[in-house]
Amino acid sequence: MKNRLKNVVYKLLSNNWATLHRVDYDFLFKDGTWKRLSRERYDRGDGTCVLLYNREKETVVLTRQFRLPLYDENNFSESMSIEVCAGSIDDNEQPEKCIIREVKEETGYEIKTVKRVYESYMSPGAVTEKLFMFVAEYSDDMKVDSGGGLEIEGEEIEVLELSFSEALQMIETKEIKDAKTIMLLQYAQIHKLLE
């Protein structure tokens, strides 16, 4: 691939919450022709997410929160996203450490270990974020506070404990539309985590 790209030029478009560049480059196609292309590249860092599950109760813990990119003036309910617990990785932070911290902040559960099951780019055509996906068992005695996110980060997160079958049904009814959540719920189903 290195020999198929040349004259790469980055133009900074925005450097607010994350960084947005326009990238112009020459690309060598298989037919031997060079073409000048232009794309936008959004860099917001990498992230983590986890499906919390309780085998004994056959439940999962999800969150519900407002997501501005989903906002539609005519259908506000679409902007409330049901998701697994997730968060952005701080500089030089290990994904496992990040998600354990995020679980406590968002859900109020204090877990000690997680199992990494996937690494995925959710929108590689435009977004650089790699998402590290985990599963972890939880129990009632791990609940140390109410969760809800951090006020300093502008978070207002509702914690949902649902039966696993109800969460799977919410994919079918399109109440859950978040890709990482669908992937982890289906992982749990395929690997029979709650049987």
Which of 186, 184, 164 lies closest to 118 in space, CA to CA? 184
Per-residue pLDDT of the chain (195 residues; tens, 9 = 90+): 889 999 999 999 999 989 999 999 999 999 999 999 999 999 999 999 999 999 999 999 999 999 888 887 666 667 899 999 999 999 999 999 999 999 999 999 999 999 999 999 999 999 999 999 999 999 999 999 999 888 777 788 999 999 999 999 999 999 999 999 999 999 999 999 998
Closest CA to 101 of 54, 48, 62, 63: 48
How many whole angstroms separate alpha carbon 84 and alpha carbon 143?
17
pTM: 0.92
Amino acid at 145: D
Q: In what order do the strands lie in the sheet with 19-28?
A: 5-15, 19-28, 34-43
Neighbouring C-beta atoms of residue 85, cutoff 10 Å: 28
Q: What is the largest CA-CA distance in the chain?
A: 63
Q: Which domains does the chain have, with CATH numbers?
A: 2-43 (no CATH), 47-190 (3.90.79.10)
Ramachandran quadrant class, 45 (left: phi over 0; alpha: psi -120 to 50; beta: rest): left
